[in-house]
Amino acid sequence: MALSTLTAALGHSFADRALLQTALTHRSFGVPNNERLEFIGDGLLNCVIAIALFRRYPDLAEGELSRMRANLVRQDTLHQLAVSLNLGGSLRLGEGELKSGGNQRPSILADAVEALIGAVFLDGGFEAAQSVIARLYLPLFDEMRSGPVTKDAKTSLQEWLQGRKKPLPRYHVIEASGAAHEQRFEVACEIENPALRTTGQGSSRRLAEQAAADRALKALKA
């Protein structure tokens, strides 16, 4: 994808094109790469999303706002944003990473979105980064406005156990299989009291943990 198409989708024209190139460069390609920009972008994203939620939902408690923010900045959401930007075609990857499908890997794409946000900040300042984040997230904010704030399964399970003064669950990977860009994970969720073990599968460890937690919660409530 042409970089002009990407910058148009972001709504930001880079004065320093080197920052854009660095944001799109994975460590497998060499140095400089996007890891430091990702660090900046991660912090900015959390800050800007927190401010936006605070302003949009004046009646929500801190816990609800925190859950909403967690949903908006998690890897799955960033991956969706990267796909909507067709970001995979613009990434610079090492030959081995490219052959293994790295330009489709959710973690690499999510990291690149954060790196882009960091690059926009260094190029144009906080307001520029805030504007890009608002542009990317507007459809997601609209979706949240139309529906209730929901808790993920891991959070719900933890709160269920804490409310009954029970030990928290433990998660561990049973198996990870498949090529790098299409891996499948199987994760176990183990609860000490009451004794319970469930498993879940997913395309990422986080999704597999959520599936296992959902099964555990349903079993406990049955």
The Cα 87–Cα 217 span in angstroms is 36
Q: What is the tally of helices (H) and strands (E) in the chain?
A: 10, 3
> Can 114 be counted among the known catalytic residues?
yes
Instruction: Tell me: cis bond preceding 32? Omega within 30 of 0 counts.
Output: yes
Give the phi and the psi of residue 159 in degrees, each rounded to 5. Answer: -65, -35
Annotated active-site residue in 38, 111, 114, 209: 114
Tell me, yes or no, if 42 is annotated catalytic. Answer: yes
- At 169, give phi and psi (nearest 5°): -75, 160
Q: At what angle do helices 75-84 and 106-124 cross, to 10 degrees?
A: 80
Q: Which of 42, 111, 209, 214 is catalytic?
A: 42
Phi and psi at 194, nearest 5°, equal -70, 150
Taking alpha carbons only, the member of 187, 190, 182 closest to residue 209 is 187
Catalytic (active-site) positions? 42, 114
